[in-house]
Amino acid sequence: MSSVATRKPLTVQLALSAFMIIWLIAAAFPFFWTLWGSFKVELDFFSIADWTNAIFGRNTEATFGSPFTGAGYEGAWVQEEFWRNVFNTFIVCLFVVCTSLTIGTLGGYALSRSGFKYVFWLLIIALIFRAMPQITLVSGYLPVFFHWNIWGYLPTAIIVLVAINQPFTLWMLHSFFESIPKELDESAKVDGCTQFQAFRYVIIPVMWPGVITTGLFSFLLAYNDFAVTALVLQESNRTMIPAIAAFLGTTQTEGNVMFAVAAVVSATAPLFVLVMFFQRQIVSGLTAGAVKG
C-alpha cells in the first residue's frame, strides 16, 4: 500500500486528518450529545444559564439527587405509552420486510432470467415509480381508503409500504440475480425441474447475501417512513416516527420536551446497532447501483 510512490507529504496528511476529525465530530457528535442530554432535565438539556450544565447536569442533580435521570424515558415509554408505537413499528417492519422480499425475489428473479424486451421496459417503469415522491402517492390513496373504510389500519400501511418498496427491491435483486450464473438453474431444468423447482432448489440456497442486503434497505424504508404512516394510520396505532412528530405538538406546550428527546434516542438506537452489524452490506448496497453504471 504505502510504497514510496504513493506516500503523501506530511502537510497533506495532516490536512486530511484534520478534516477527517472535523467531519467525524460533525457526523457523530450530535448523536452522543443528544444521548447524554436525554438523561438530564430540560433545564440542563437546553441550558440557557451555563452550557456546561448540559454536561454535568447541575439542575438534574438538584431535582433528582443524581446527575442522571431516566425521567424522560419513563415519561415517554410509560406515561405516553411509546412502547405501543415501538410495537407497531416492529409489526410494520417485520411484515413489510418479509412480504416485500418474498414477492420481490420472485419478480427480480424472473426479470433476470427472461431475455425478452419487456424486461427493460418493466425496469424503466420501476425506475419512474421509484422516483415518485411518496407524499404524492398518499394524496392519491386517501379518498379511496376513506371510501372503502380501510383507512387507519396497520395492514393498509403495510401493503402500501410493501408496494412503495417494490421498485427499489426489484432493481437491487435484479442486478443481484444477474450475477448468479444462468447455467445453475438451466442445468437443473435440463435435469427435469420446472422453473419454480429450479428456483426453489438451486437459487434459493445461494441467494441469501443479496436478499439480506435488500432486506436491510426494505427495513430502513419501513422504519424511517413518515409520509405514509403519518397520514394513513390513526392516533391509536401510530408507529414511532409519526408518534415523535405528534409528541412535538403536545409536549412542547406542556414542557415535556424531554419525552420527545427520550423517544428520539430510543428510535435512533436500533439504527445504530443495525449499522454496526451490517455496515458492509449497507455500503455494498448503496454502491451496487452506482459502480456498475
Partner 1 sequence: MKHSTFFWFFAPTGLAMLIFIAAPIASVLVQSVFTPHEPVIIEAENCGPFGCTTETTIDQDATQALRDAEPLGRFRGFDIYFDRGHLAVAEVAEAWRTSDSLGAFFGELGDLPFYRAMAFTLTYTFVCTPALIALGFVIAISVNALHRSLRGLAIFFSLLPMIVTPLVGSLILFWMIDSRGVLGTFIQYLADDPDLSIKASTPLMWIALIIYGIWSSAPFAFVVFYAGLQTVPQDTIESAKIDGASRWEQIRYIIIPHLMPLVTFVALIQLMDNFKVFEPILGFTAQAHAQSLSWIIFNDLSGETRQLSAAAATSVMTIVCVAILLSPVLIRTWRDFRGRAR
Is residue 166 at the binding interface for partner 1, with CB under 8 A as the rule?
yes
Q: What is the DSSP-derived secondary structure letter of residue 233?
A: B
For partner 1, give the closer residue by CB, 106 or 206. 106
Please say which residue, 46 or 87, places its beta carbon nearer to partner 1: 46
Q: Would you state the cell numbers that stand for residue 112, as one nine-digit string?
A: 433476470
Complex with partner 1: residue 65 or 202, whichever CB lies closer: 202
CB of 62 to partner 1, least distance (A): 18
Residue 19 or 83 having the CB closest to partner 1: 19
Q: Does 238 bind partner 1 (CB under 8 A)?
A: no
Within 183-222, the residues that bind partner 1 by CB under 8 A are: 195-196, 220
14/45 Cα distance (integer angstroms) = 35
Long-range contacts: 23-26, Cβ < 8 Å, 24+? none
Distance CA 245, CA 248 (A): 5
**Which CB sits closer to partner 1, 65 or 216?**
216
Nearer to partner 1, 71 or 111 (CB): 111
Closest by alpha carbon to 152, among 210, 82, 234?
234
Distance CA 101, CA 241 (A): 23
Instruction: Quote the Cα angle for 58-59-60, to 5°.
Output: 90
* Amino acid found at 215: G
User: Out of 163, 175, 180, 193, which residue is the one contacting partner 1 (CB under 8 A)?
Assistant: 163
10 Å Cβ neighbour count for 145?
A: 18
Residues comprising the chain, all counted = 293
Helix (H, G, I), strand (E, B) or coil at 128: helix
Binding mask 76-115 for partner 1 (x = CB under 8 A): --------------------------xxx-xx-xxx-xxx
Among 56, 64, 90, 226, indicate the residue that binds partner 1 (CB under 8 A).
Answer: 226
- Closest distance to partner 1 from the beta carbon of 283 (Å): 6
Q: Is 10 in the site for partner 1 (CB under 8 A)?
A: no
Within 49-68, which residues bind partner 1 (CB under 8 A)? 51, 54
